[in-house]
Structure 1
Amino acid sequence: MKKSVYFLGVLMIICYGCTNITVQDNTGENAIQSNTPDSHQVEHATKTKEQPAVYEPPTKQENYDHLTQTEVLTKLLNTVDNFDTAVGKFELLRNGYTTLVEYKIAPTSGYSKSTHVDKNSGKSRIQHIYYQDGSVWLVDEERKATRRMRYNADRHAGTLEPKQAFGKDSLGNNVTRYRERPPIGAAQTSLFPYEIASNFTRDLDKWEIEKQDEQLLDHNTIVLKGILNEAASRKQGASTFRFWVDKDSGILVQFELYNAKGEVVDYLHPIELNVNVPIDRKELESNVESLLQKYPVENE
């Protein structure tokens, strides 16, 4: 992934989500992605044993514990450890451009679909991502073609604490280390919101816990609110933010950015979110096979 101008640049991550990352947070400072998929390395696929068609994850209970700022931030930085499957849908708004994101992920495979709508023409562009055991397919309906890449499916060992994630380079600039995550495209904005956590909640003095428990789509969330620094405010066209974070998993269920008048200028609004539900791998594979028949893989 190249340098990103904004965390909602995950719309571009659809094409670059399988590479090592050097991104810029909204202060313009560098962040370092570690343990992420790498499409440029030697072909690598994780070999797995024969698995049942339907994956049944363990049931998790909603969390009603009182969380501190550090505990919430740790959740946001390590969501990859906190759930096994997820099925959902949400809408993103950025600069008047709307994107509808749908996804389904299991431990070793996943699928997402992003429908981008041009604010002027109303024309839609649809992109799909499917990954499984070290391979990822990027399907662009507009180009009527599929790009196949490889990624490193190895996992990082252990929780990444904020004090380990956030540091300084030799010039005194902020740098951030991120956990690994599957190459799921724009769905990572909600499921694996590492850049967002760094950009908006890195400085504990800039935000606070507004509400410990609020129900949203049958999930118990903790509500955070804060202010953007001057550089971020100019870049985003916003001055304050509010996050709804699932207490159990750290998934960013919803967020809103507000201008000086309190008007919502950017948002992620959830439509559906089901965590740790059974996933039929065969159905997932069948859907992708149909896509690949319609949009053939380039250079293969």
Structure 2
Amino acid sequence: MKKTYSVILATSLVGLGLTGFYAAKSNAEEAPRTEVEQQTEAQQQTESILNVTVTDSKSIQEKMLNAIDNYQSVSGSYRIILTPIGVDETVEFEVQQGKNPRSHVKVENNTKGEIIKETAYDGEFYWTVKHNQKMYKKTKASKENGAASFDKKGPRTSKNEKGEKVFVKRPDPAFSSNAKDVIFPQDYAFWLTPTNHKIVGAEKLLDRSVIVIEGQHEDLILAEKHQATHFKMWIDTETGVLLKLEETNDKNEVTNSIEVLSIEFNKKAKMSTFKAPADYQNMTSSIEKIEFDKTKQSEKE
């Protein structure tokens, strides 16, 4: 589905003499040329983006499923609103992938204006701090089923003995918690099937080139849970990161949304050693380990 664009320029020149004609022509061409060049450049960028993704409709989904391969580090924030369950939160994140994965994520309740959750991974331990309950857990990350053993070329969907669709999730070596919604959006990539969506355009968002996808929920359980029938995604074309998401119902009312407020890629991480507040209750079990979640049923939790 390749779109073709054209730019039509109409110029009217009137000269009273030979010198005046060339002067008028020169002056008239200088201003429009810059505008046309800008339009042509924007057009070429748009066509280039669309050609990359439309030719192979699965390419953008593959980037979403493997977004962590497309950057070394990422930091920023996003707002998430889930109307059916009364969630309105802002998530701040700093995540490092590659050979030395790390993460630090904070979740703020926008209604109460307070940090309610904080997670951190230092390469060995994963911290979960619930500030609204003044408690924390410090768990050792298991490497037994880690990212190194995951075959990203293998099938990412299958069916169980009941005929239900099962998604094979790629482990996140940085344990980036809530930040995965945008920086590793494989849950949302699984929404895309060969028949339920289409690419509707290319835009600039946060000074990033994005592809815009519109689709309809085929999973009826998910649709009921989210009180939504349709979705629209804005995907960063370079990384597969989700920069914006809107879900709407049959009345075209937005029921759920995610919007990245700021984002930076491949800046040197500033993460320091994490410590839970001294007066918080330690809920850690001495034998507890965190395992990588590799599979998931059809509906998004």
Same fold (TM over 0.5): yes
Aligned equivalent of 1:111, options 104, 108, 116 = 104
Which residue does the alignment assign to 1:249? 239
Q: CA deviation at 1:240?
A: 0.7
What are the Cα deviations for residues 21-79 of structure 1, in whole angstroms up to 9, with x where unaligned?
xxxxxxxxxxxxxxxxxxxxxxxxxxxxxxxxxxxxxxxxxx94621321011111111
CA–CA separation in structure 2 for the residues paired with 1:298 and 1:236: 32
Alpha-carbon distance, 1:292 to partner: 4.0
**CA deviation after TM superposition for structure 1 residue 165, in Å:** 0.3
Larger relative contact order (C-alpha < 8 A, sep ≥ 6)?
Answer: 1
Residue equivalent to 1:98: 88
Q: How does 1:83-162 map to 2 (within 5 A)?
A: 83-95=71-83, 96-107=86-97, 108-117=101-110, 122=112, 124=114, 126-153=116-143, 154-156=146-148, 160-161=152-153
Distance 1:145 1:92 in 2: 24
Q: Indicate which of 217, 238, 242 corresponds to 2:206.
A: 217
Question: Which stretch of the first structure deviates more once superposed, 150-159 or 178-187?
Answer: 150-159
Q: CA–CA distance in 2 between the matches of 1:99 and 1:77?
A: 24
TM alignment of 1:176-215, pairs within 5 A: 176-181=167-172, 182-198=174-190, 200-201=191-192, 203-211=193-201, 213-215=202-204
User: What's the secondary structure of 1:133's corresponding residue?
Assistant: coil
Task: Please name the residue that 1:260 is paired with.
Answer: 250
In the alignment, structure 1 residue 228 sits paired with structure 2 residue 217:
yes
The AA in structure 1 aligned to 2:71 is F
Matched length:
226
The structure-2 alpha-carbon separation of the partners of 1:185 and 1:158, relative to structure 1 and needing over 3 Å to count, comes to: closer
Instruction: Give the equivalent residue in structure 2 for 1:175.
Output: 166
Q: Secondary structure at the match of 1:204?
A: coil
Matched, 1:80 2:68: yes
For each residue in 1:123-153, what CA deviation from the matched residue of structure 2 results, as whole angstroms up to 9, or x when unmatched? 7451100101121011111222221011135
Q: CA RMSD in A?
A: 2.3
Shift of residue 87, structure 1, vs aligned partner = 0.5
SS of 1:101's equivalent? Answer: strand
Q: Specify whether residues 157 and 214 from structure 1 end up closer, same or farther in structure 2 by C-alpha distance, changes over 3 A only.
A: farther
Aligned partners of 1:116, 1:238: CA distance in 2, in Å? 23
Q: Which residue does the alignment assign to 1:59?
A: none
The code of the aligned residue for 1:113 comes to: K
Match of 2:52 among 45, 66, 71: 66
TM-score w.r.t. the length of structure 1 is 0.69
How many Å apart are 1:233 and its aligned residue?
A: 2.4
**Does structure 2 retain, via aligned residues, the 8 Å contact 1:80–1:180?**
no
Deviation at 1:159, TM superposition (A): 6.5
CA contact (8 A) 2:137 2:282 kept: yes
The 8 Å contact of residues 210 and 236 in structure 2, kept in 1 or not, is answered as yes
Instruction: Quote the offset at 1:97 in angstroms.
Output: 1.9
Larger Rg: 2
The code of the aligned residue for 1:106 comes to Q
Superposed CA offset, 1:159-182 (max 9, x none) = 635x71011122322111111113
Task: Give the TM-score of the pair, scaled to structure 2.
Answer: 0.69
Shift of 1:254: 0.9
Q: Distance in 2 between matches of 1:168 and 1:97?
A: 32
**Partner secondary structure for residue 63 of structure 2:** helix
Shift in Å at residue 158 of structure 1?
Answer: 7.1
Give the Å deviation of 1:297: 4.2
Q: Report if the CA contact (8 A) 2:102-2:175 is conserved.
A: no
2:243 aligns to what SS in structure 1?
A: strand
Q: Which amino acid aligns with 1:169?
A: N
**Percent of pairs identical after alignment?**
20
Tell me the secondary structure at the aligned position of residue 103 of structure 1. Answer: strand
